[in-house]
Amino acid sequence: MNNFEKDLSDLLLSVKHKYTPKLFEAMEYALKSGGKRIRPNLCFLSAEFCNVPRENVLPHALAIECIHTYSLIHDDMPCMDNDVLRRGKPTVHVKFGEAMALLAGDALMNLAYEILFRALENDQFILPSCQIIANAAGAEGMIGGQAMEFSFDDFNEERLIELDNKKTGGLIRSAVYAPSLQSHDYAKVQAMNSYGKYAGLAFQLADDLIDADKKEKTSYVTVCGKEKTIEMLNKLYDLTKKALSPWGKESEKLLDFFQLLAFRDK
């Protein structure tokens, strides 16, 4: 992923002149704070599996990472989760103040759409891919899921799955599904759609197992119990293997990455 870090640096350099210095500093701080780059990784793995050139999906990867980063800035703020540390560093609102953090998140969200519109200028046929990313970030996806979390006091398994398919899973699914549309290979597109859904939910299940001691109300461990959560995770892995089985070794990287997501310990 070293190339993607350079891609991010190039992106920031190309837009730096648009922003006031403090706003740009906050955006850069958040975007380059040492994340795992899970969503860009998924973009490139999907592209490789579907025989789509990397440069064709780079705008997707950059836009999705900007959207993900803005969501973290806003999630950390006092009106949301009120976190003071992210990845061992002060959160954006702690370092730059609440107003600048809010604006940095807004700016990164807007930058994501600027990236997608620029890509559309060069290739109008990627419109469906851009729409999938936009939907995953909006009311049908991440924002809608976040609103659900603040709208209900009680969660059962069904409601929790609905929340996570939107809040966390939607953007992860889009990272896999959107690039595959450029392949025009119906079987692989369907497989990537399924893979994305399973990976998104597995990521959250794994997170909840790691944070089991926190006993949060929107946790599978809290709602379903630890054993059921592990059972759900193993079932998703089996479904993923089945979805990728027609391609054998060709899909090994995707399956390996799913295992990293689902069975990690941090």
- Report CA-CA distances (Å) from 237 to 164, 256, 259, 264: 17, 11, 8, 13
What distance in Å separates the CA atoms of residue 21 and residue 188, rounded to the nearest whole number?
Answer: 44
The answer to whether residues 165 and 197 touch, using CB atoms and an 8 Å cutoff, is yes
- 78 or 265, higher pLDDT: 78
Can you give the pLDDT at residue 98? 98
The mean per-residue pLDDT over the stretch 123-149 comes to 95
Instruction: With CA atoms as reference, report the closest residue to 132 among 122, 142, 123, 145.
Output: 142
The mean per-residue pLDDT over the stretch 207-236 comes to 92
Q: Which residue has the tokens 């190039």?
A: 10
Number of domains within the chain: 1
CB neighbour class for 113 (10 Å; exposed up to 12, middle 13-18, buried from 19): middle
Share the mean pLDDT of the chain: 95
What distance in Å separates the CA atoms of residue 244 and residue 122, rounded to the nearest whole number?
Answer: 32
The answer to whether residues 1 and 41 touch, using CB atoms and an 8 Å cutoff, is yes
| Angle (nearest 5°) at CA 30 between 47 and 171 | 35
The mean per-residue pLDDT over the stretch 2-30 comes to 96
**Given a cut of 50, is residue 14 above it in pLDDT?**
yes
Least reliable range by pLDDT among 97-106, 144-153, 173-182: 144-153
| Residue 266 pLDDT level (bands cut at 50, 70, 90) | confident
The mean per-residue pLDDT over the stretch 26-50 comes to 96
What distance in Å separates the CA atoms of residue 20 and residue 265, rounded to the nearest whole number?
Answer: 40
Can you give the pLDDT at residue 2? 57
Q: What is the CATH number of the domain that holds 190?
A: 1.10.600.10
- 220 or 216, higher pLDDT: 220
**Given a cut of 70, is residue 10 above it in pLDDT?**
yes
**Given a cut of 80, is residue 152 above it in pLDDT?**
yes
| Residue 1 pLDDT level (bands cut at 50, 70, 90) | very low
Sign of CA dihedral 219, 90, 3, 70: positive
**Given a cut of 80, is residue 12 above it in pLDDT?**
yes
Range of the domain at 256: 2-262
Backbone angles phi, psi at 256, to 5 degrees: -60, -40
Share of the chain above pLDDT 70, in %: 99
Condensed to tens digits (0 to 9), the pLDDT of residues 54-71 reads 999 999 999 999 999 999
CA gyration radius, the chain: 18
Share of the chain above pLDDT 90, in %: 90
Can you give the pLDDT at residue 4? 96
**Given a cut of 90, is residue 94 above it in pLDDT?**
yes
